[in-house]
Amino acid sequence: MKTKPLSRIVLGLTGGIAAYKAAELTRLFVKAGVTVDVVMTASACRFIAPLTLQALCGRPVFTDLWTSGADNGMGHIDLSRGADAIVVAPASADFLAKVANGHADDLLSTLTLARDCALFAAPAMNRQMWANAATRRNVARLVADGVVVLGPGSGDQACGETGEGRMLEPEEILAAVTAWAQPKVLAGRRIVLTAGPTFEAIDPVRGITNTSSGKMGYALAQAAAEAGATVTLVSGPTSLATPAGVTRIDVASAAQMAAAVETNLAGVDAFIAVAAVADYTPDAPAKTKIKKSGAPLTITLKPTVDIVAAVAARKDAPYCVGFAAETDDVEQNAEAKRRRKQLPLIVANRAQDAFGSDDNEVTLLDDLGRHPLPRMGKLALARRLVAEIAGRLPKR
């Protein structure tokens, strides 16, 4: 099990038109602070020049078993030592067959046999090659041997056909490897989160909502899944993609969100209420569009259900975490909210800084006091919050 941040990988390239994507993948790993050593097969060098990868990773690119850079002649072994993982992208059908059957006739295949780290393979091939019985047997054997197979995706292929076999996009591969590297502090735990705004209908085309983007809640869902939890995300209206490994339930109103949460609470270890839920909803929404007139319009509002307070008040309540987005007196208002709703932990932040932005600065408030965290990107913050929550969960 990986217990430290990703620091160094070996990126392997095999022959295939998808080799051009490896340039962007290299750039993304380097941007994320990961040292990348690139190993290319002879076929890969026909599709993309080693110099391109060398310029992007800032290190020598290795292409030959006999000149692999080690003074002791053991580059085929030494290259994988100290690496967190070997990531082969693209992984051709031939390469998958080699590894599945223990062949080692070039630098990359030899490295995979001599490794003492994880191996990821991102297949890339024609749809019929991917569907071939021999390829399916080889992939099944690789999975049984502990190799992590990423994808493939489905869509248009360079040959003009459409189907499974496309290499995953670089962002997807980076996300998968980064997720694997996160400590599994929530392994075996079940988490329910809410995220995004709610929409309270005034009439069939208008409603009351807010500017929450859902980014913080989605980042927390991703971080919890990375940490090994089974995650259910109850989401208000947002255009964000569902994080990998997360079960998503789409809702619109506060009432719908409350019902979805209630339905999914059985056996849950923690409930994290990140959503910006409307405090009020129209008492009697119009069944048809309200027509504009010169007269003032009055809408009677009634309070919505307080979702996190209702969950915290249950006899079998999970560990409850609230969020408080305040415009003034942030910590005082958040602490008052925590005590009123009887929450063990609340995350306080300024609404002006949080809504719609890609980073955030928060303070954790619990019975022991205040615990400020520095400003950071929302995914980094989510991973920090997951570690904080995991450390506070009751022992099983």
> DSSP string covering 84-123, please?
SEEEEEEE-HHHHHHHHTT---SHHHHHHHH-SSEEEEEE
From residue 193, alpha-carbon distances to 216, 224, 318 in Å are: 11, 10, 12
Is 57 catalytic? The answer is no
Distance CA 91, CA 28 (A): 18
Distance CA 303, CA 305 (A): 7
User: Which residues are within 8 A (CB) of 263 and not within 5 positions of it... i.e. 6 or more apart?
Assistant: none
Distance CA 191, CA 396 (A): 15
Q: Which tokens in the block code for residue 144?
A: 């049984």
Give me the phi and psi of 34, to 5 degrees please: -100, 135
SS3 141: helix
Are 123 and 151 in contact by the 8 Å Cβ rule? The answer is: yes
Of 15, 23, 69, nearest to 46 by C-alpha is 15
Are 65 and 94 in contact by the 8 Å Cβ rule? The answer is: no
Torsion angle in degrees (nearest 10) through CA of 331, 335, 338, 344: 90
Of 387, 392, 390, nearest to 188 by C-alpha is 390
3-state secondary structure 283-329: CCCCCCCCCCCCCCCCCCEEECCCHHHHHHCCCCCCEEEEEEEECCC
Indicate the pairing of strand 270-273 with strand 319-326: parallel
Q: Which tokens in the block code for residue 130?
A: 């991917």
Catalytic residue among 45, 57, 159, 320: 159
Any bridge partners for residue 118, and if so which?
85
Among all residues, which ones are annotated catalytic?
159
